[in-house]
Chains A and B, each alone.
Chain A
Amino acid sequence: MSRARNDSRREFLRKSLSGAAFLCAGGAAQALAVPETTAAGTRSKVVVARDEQLRGSGAVVDAQLIRALLDRAMQALTKRDRAIDAWRKIIQPGETVGLKVNTLGGKGISTNVQLVEAVCERLQEAGIRPGAIVVWDRDSAELERAGFRIETGNERVRCFGTDRAGYEDELSAYGSVGSRVSKILTQYCNVLINLPVLKDHDGAGVTIALKNMYGAIHNPNKYHPNGCNPYVADLNMLPEIRTKMRLTICDATTAIYEGGPGYKPEHCWNANALLVSTDPVALDQTGWQMIERKRAQMGMKTLAAEERAPSYIVTAADDEHRLGNCDPKRISIVEV
């Protein structure tokens, strides 16, 4: 809310640098500021923030407008009047934060750079030093193709793929999953903020929050059979993921309702929205229904009719996993 309205990327980086000098990274994890939403009986909130004018008169998302949209969403999620207070409810000064983006789809359908910049700004205002923020995905080249600039220095917001950091040597296992986890997740951050994209997925039905964690392990190709079920749910049970996952901000500025997860311009639409929640299951359930509504609008079959309904969402909410709520009756959707 207090940012100048026309911050350029250069200014953003300059400000990132300016805040880099004194805080030390790697502090112990603070107590969660937001209650976990996985216990049975808890209602989950999903904020859907929209701005139909998000692109102004141009084709790309406007940096200031998306920052304002992010602020609205975070304030609604946390019931705070100021953006900085909203972030301080999520993040504690001194924490190290990983922003897991999704860049598989190149510039066409990846997490928006302007959105990530806005998140980084707000994190710094909330007391996170620039070098304690890592924007990451599986592969540096994919990050670059999506418009991110690789930055490995210790004083700026860092941005690189697991190809630069490597995977842990030891396996982490739960249920059907046994994987080596990205060292970015295990060694560079104690808080995980998930920044997926709202996408159709030819095998899994949809790929939003939970499935975005496929980009955190060395062997995602092994977990696509059976519509990724129960693999997605099992993967999100790995302690490296579950204990660090704090918030999901789904980029639905541009979304894809058919032919995903790759970029298919003919099936993309400007949803001009962000979905924000501390419950990734509820967020996935909500995002799935947005895709279904768009498919219906376009005269397409439901995912269930195509035998690819995302059954992993139900698994993630079951008594074994309890990663969140998928029952619409227990999800409060707040439109702002």
Chain B
Amino acid sequence: MFCELDTEIGINNPLDRRSFLKCALASGAALGMSGAAMRAEAAPASGDDARYLVEAKFYQKIENGKIKCKLCPRECKVGDRERGYCGVRENRGGTYYSLVHSRVCAAHVDPIEKKPLFHYLPGTIAFSIATAGCNVNCKFCQNWDISQSRPEEVPAQYMPPRSVAEMAKQYNCPTIAYTYSEPVIFAEYLMDTADAGHAAGVRSIVVSNGFMQQDSLKEAYGRMDAVKIDLKSFSESYYSKVVTGQLKPVLNSLVTLRTMGKWTEIVYLVLPTLNDSDQEFRSLAQWIKANLGADVPLHFTQFHPQYLLKNLPITPVETLERAKAIADAEGLHFVYIGNVPGHPAQNTYCPKCRKMIVERVGFVANEMLIKNSKCPFCQQPIPGVWHV
């Protein structure tokens, strides 16, 4: 998934002590971080480490010792000693297991703007973690070396939920972010970690493709305090060919999250020639307004050639500006342009008086003028969660 523009060292690298400290320092040198991250232990090479095994929560036992996974819409039917499409869930003797509980292959302290969440605790940092695996296979994935790998192929460290919560607190992160790969596939770990975080006073946010069954969405993301969904296109054909997924379940997830009252933002990665037509931008904006409301932030982000789509160019800024203009014209209130540092469409403007109320440079919220969730100039309520 192309969830965040990764400019740090270490996202795609093994989380050895050196790299962990390196990125922790890079992200948090000014935050007084200590060496607490070193508590994580080196993972063994074996894929059979019992510490990482927990019975999966979302599946059915079916005939001949097989199981049917109920986590995502694929509903993989998995025989004994086999794994589902995600590669991180395995049938062992008729019982389905997650192989990635507490098996963290990437951990960083990131600005929350990097997720991106622009209307949720701006200017704060998130303790961000991932395991290997993903339930789709986007041809543009920037983190493919962890998302498209099985857990035993990616060095990892043992980080049980409580230690994640402790580390988040130690680094003054008000949130734990589940991100980088696809948190759907480590739902059990996400749920346990969110519970541990909440018990310690740390919130949870998730960066996801939203390709889930509704029951698992409600149970897992019901524990989240904010959600960012990568809506990768507004076309089933694109989802089939480029994402290896389906659009409809993702739209259902967005509506369900809205019904659940979860703060949700949407990212739409714009790929030249593949999902950048005026009609698709217009249909997308119309659907969001009709089904989620005009206040849902929508981020049009710039594609950089990656993975299996190295033949495409970087998205022209003009294309992103065209997308924003169409969504603005359809009446969405908060349309952003992402992955283009310094672009004025990274800032938040009051939809009523049009004055700038949050100024951002890169992933840094330079100036945050919103007070009591209102525009300081015209008192227009500004949707979001602005203060811890």
Q: Which residues of chain A have C-beta atoms less than 8 A from B45's C-beta?
A: 163
Pick the contact of B47: A139, A171, A202 (CB < 8 A): A139
Query: Could you give, for residues 72-95 of chain B, a 1 whenever the CB lies within 8 Å of some chain A CB and a 0 otherwise?
Result: 001001011111111100000000
In this complex, what residue of A is CB-closest to B63?
Answer: A259
Pick the contact of A218: B79, B85, B150 (CB < 8 A): B150
In this complex, what residue of B is CB-closest to A203?
Answer: B77
Q: Are A222 and B137 in contact (CB under 8 A)?
A: yes
Query: Could you give, for residues 176-198 of chain A, a 1 whenever the CB lies within 8 Å of some chain B CB and a 0 otherwise?
Result: 00100000000000000000000
Q: Are A163 and B152 in contact (CB under 8 A)?
A: yes
- A141 touching B48 in the complex, CB below 8 Å, given contacts A218-B149, A219-B87, A262-B79: yes
Q: Which residues of chain A have C-beta atoms less than 8 A from B79's C-beta?
A: 202, 259, 261-262
Q: Which residues of chain A have C-beta atoms less than 8 A from B148's C-beta?
A: 218-219, 222
Q: Which residues of chain B have C-beta atoms less than 8 A from A141's C-beta?
A: 46-48
In this complex, what residue of B is CB-closest to A105?
Answer: B81
CB distance from B123 to the nearest CB of A (A): 37
Report A120-177 residues with CB < 8 Å from chain B CB.
139, 141, 163, 167, 171, 173
Q: Which residues of chain B have C-beta atoms less than 8 A from A224's C-beta?
A: 85
Q: Is A265 an interface residue (CB 8 A)?
A: no
CB distance from A204 to the nearest CB of B (A): 12
The B interface, classified by DSSP as helix, strand, loop or mixed, is: loop
Query: Could you give, for residues 223-244 of chain B, a 1 whenever the CB lies within 8 Å of some chain A CB and a 0 otherwise?
Result: 0000000000000000000001
Q: How many residues of B contact A (CB 8 A)?
A: 27
How many Å lie between the Cα of A203 and that of B87 in the bound state? 16
Q: Is A104 an interface residue (CB 8 A)?
A: yes
Q: Are A221 and B308 in contact (CB under 8 A)?
A: no
Q: Is A26 an interface residue (CB 8 A)?
A: no
Q: Are A221 and B77 in contact (CB under 8 A)?
A: no
Q: Are B81 and A167 in contact (CB under 8 A)?
A: no
Q: Are A225 and B244 in contact (CB under 8 A)?
A: yes
In this complex, what residue of B is CB-closest to A221?
Answer: B87
Report A224-246 residues with CB < 8 Å from chain B CB.
224-225
Q: Are A171 and B150 in contact (CB under 8 A)?
A: no
How many Å lie between the Cα of A219 and that of B308 in the bound state? 14
Q: Are B153 and A221 in contact (CB under 8 A)?
A: no
Query: Could you give, for residues 192-218 of chain A, a 1 whenever the CB lies within 8 Å of some chain B CB and a 0 otherwise?
Result: 000000000011000000000000001
Pick the contact of A259: B46, B64, B84, B152 (CB < 8 A): B64
How many Å lie between the Cα of A224 and that of B74 in the bound state? 11
How many Å lie between the Cα of A50 and that of B150 in the bound state? 39
How many Å lie between the Cα of A219 and that of B134 in the bound state? 11
How many Å lie between the Cα of A259 and that of B77 in the bound state? 12
Q: Is A264 an interface residue (CB 8 A)?
A: yes
Query: Could you give, for residues 302-321 of chain B, a 1 whenever the CB lies within 8 Å of some chain A CB and a 0 otherwise?
Result: 00000110000000000000
Could you write out 22 A-B pairs with CB less than 8 Å apart?
A106-B81, A141-B47, A178-B308, A202-B77, A203-B77, A218-B148, A218-B153, A219-B137, A221-B83, A221-B87, A221-B150, A222-B85, A222-B148, A222-B244, A225-B74, A225-B244, A259-B79, A261-B82, A262-B79, A262-B81, A262-B82, A264-B64
* Known contacts A141-B48, A163-B47; 4 further A-B pairs (Cβ under 8 A): A141-B47, A178-B308, A225-B74, A262-B81
A-to-B contact residues, CB < 8 Å: 104, 106, 139, 141, 163, 167, 171, 173, 178, 202-203, 218-219, 221-222, 224-225, 259, 261-262, 264
B-to-A contact residues, CB < 8 Å: 45-48, 64, 66, 74, 77, 79-87, 137, 139, 148-150, 152-153, 244, 307-308
Q: Which 5 A-B pairs have the closest CB atoms?
A: A221-B87, A262-B80, A178-B308, A262-B79, A222-B137
